[in-house]
Amino acid sequence: MASLFSDNEQPPTNSNSSSTVLVRKKKSLSASSPSSSRGNAASLPTRDGDSHPRWRSEKQQRIYSAKLIQALKQVRLSSSSSATTSSPTAHKRGKAVREAADRALAVSARGRTLWSRAILANRIKLKFRKQKRPRQTVIPAVTTVVTTGASSRGRKRRVSVVRLNKKSLPTVNRKVRSLGRLVPGCKKESVPVILEEATDYIQALEMQVRAMNSLVELLSGYSTPGSDSAPPPI
Amino acid sequence: MSSRRSRSSRQTGTSMISEDQINDLVLQLHRLLPELGNNNRRSGKVSASKVLQETCTYIRNLNKEVDDLSERLSQLLESTDSAQAALIRSLLM
């Protein structure tokens, strides 16, 4: 897709260490996209959460794709400079790619969410998560529980109140706990925090899947023998 | 950051979490989930535990998909030889 290339005007980086990669990513983050996601969030104030337009906007996908490409270039440089053989490290390279993609995703979240900070904290092995802890716990305003079907996907279904019985509460708690174990960094959080982090995490993962899919399409178009100069029409 | 936090009605601390707020969050989660076969039948209430179960499954699926994609990406990055890599790099910069 052309969107993968359109915003990538960042200068090539040549270092291999992960911490400088992150520093450069953060600098380029502030330079390249001043208020893109905020602009999208502000333009749709009537939505029930700014998470919906945030991860689905074209601009956010471009930003993430650019960061992903940067990160993958780093992975290539570091893996090609190592002297190990290919077969035992094939799985490790897949993991390195996954970690790079997760880091890029976490940086694109601009530090607003727990899971993104947890991903970055695990990577650098710093505990700056504790310093960011005194943010307010998220309790969204509930004016009415009945929602209309005007979601961002255009579905017309009307879903009404969820019945949370008292006797089903421990079941719900258990499931929320297991959900919290899936989302990075939310093992010990309270229920609404886990639920909110999960909504954001799901949307971010969907965007990651879309971006990586298009990147794979692009690269598999290049790696076929015989295609030399003309890029595939997208 | 304030656009999200401004939706909070009152900061009552971490323990007093009302059912309504949890309901709202679960509904939000439910809207995100891919709806397979729910379109025609279930127009009324959804159960929280089912939503949570589907959320867990969905996140696991997404994670697996990302892992598979990153495997493919790493293979693709390895298989492109140096001339094409230089081409891609020059295009990406």
How much is the pLDDT for B40? 52
The answer as to whether B41 is a domain residue is yes
Among candidates A139, A198, A209 on the partner chain, residue whose Cβ is nearest the Cβ of B66: A209
Mutation target to probe the B interface, by most B beta carbons within 10 A, among A40, A195, A213 is: A195
The answer as to whether A198 is a domain residue is yes
Do B12 and A161 make contact, defined as CB atoms within 8 angstroms? Answer: no
Q: Is A169 on the interface with B (CB under 8 A)?
A: no
The answer as to whether A226 is a domain residue is no
Q: Which residue of A has its CA nearest to B71?
A: A94
Do B18 and A157 make contact, defined as CB atoms within 8 angstroms? Answer: no
The answer as to whether A185 is a domain residue is yes
Tell me the nearest-neighbour CA distance from B9 into chain A, angstroms.
Answer: 5
Range of the domain at B28: 19-92
Report the percentage of chain B scoring pLDDT > 90.
11
Q: What is the ipTM of this complex?
A: 0.72
Among candidates B28, B45, B65 on the partner chain, residue whose Cβ is nearest the Cβ of A160: B45
The answer as to whether A206 is a domain residue is yes
pLDDT confidence bin for B21, thresholds 50/70/90: confident
Domain count, chain A: 1
The answer as to whether A105 is a domain residue is yes
Is pTM, for the whole model, over 0.80? no
Biggest distance spanned by C-alpha atoms of chain A: 65
Distance in angstroms (rounded) separating the CA atoms of residues A139 and B14? 9
The answer as to whether B14 is a domain residue is no
Mean pLDDT calculated for residue range B60-84: 80
Q: List chain A pLDDT tens, one digit each, 234 residues.
A: 444 444 444 444 444 444 444 444 444 444 444 334 443 333 333 334 445 667 777 778 777 777 777 777 777 666 555 544 454 566 777 787 888 888 888 888 877 788 888 888 876 665 455 555 545 444 444 444 444 434 344 444 556 656 666 667 788 888 888 888 888 887 888 888 888 888 888 988 888 898 888 888 887 776 555 545 555 555
The answer as to whether B43 is a domain residue is yes
The answer as to whether A144 is a domain residue is no
How much is the pLDDT for A181? 87
How much is the pLDDT for A147? 40
The answer as to whether A160 is a domain residue is no
pLDDT confidence bin for B60, thresholds 50/70/90: very high
Instruction: Give whole-number Cα distances, B58 to A199, A201, B26, B32, B52, in Å.
Output: 11, 11, 14, 10, 10
**Segment 193-232 of chain A within 8 Å of chain B by CB:** 195-196, 198-199, 201-203, 205-206, 208-209, 212-213, 215-216, 219-220, 222-223, 229, 231
As a whole number of Å, the CA-based R_g of chain A is 20
The answer as to whether A24 is a domain residue is no
**Segment 112-151 of chain A within 8 Å of chain B by CB:** 112, 136-142, 145, 147, 151
How much is the pLDDT for B83? 56
Distance in angstroms (rounded) separating the CA atoms of residues A102 and A204? 10
Do B48 and A168 make contact, defined as CB atoms within 8 angstroms? Answer: yes
- Among A223-227, B5-9, B35-39, whose mean pLDDT is lowest? B5-9
Among candidates A141, A157, A202 on the partner chain, residue whose Cβ is nearest the Cβ of B39: A157
Instruction: Give whole-number Cα distances, A139 to A93, B14, B90, in Å.
Output: 40, 9, 48
Do B53 and A213 make contact, defined as CB atoms within 8 angstroms? Answer: no
Q: Which residue of B has its CA nearest to A209?
A: B66
Range of the domain at A212: 58-129+171-218
Residue B58: which region, alpha, beta or left (left: phi > 0; alpha: psi -120 to 50)? alpha
Domain count, chain B: 1
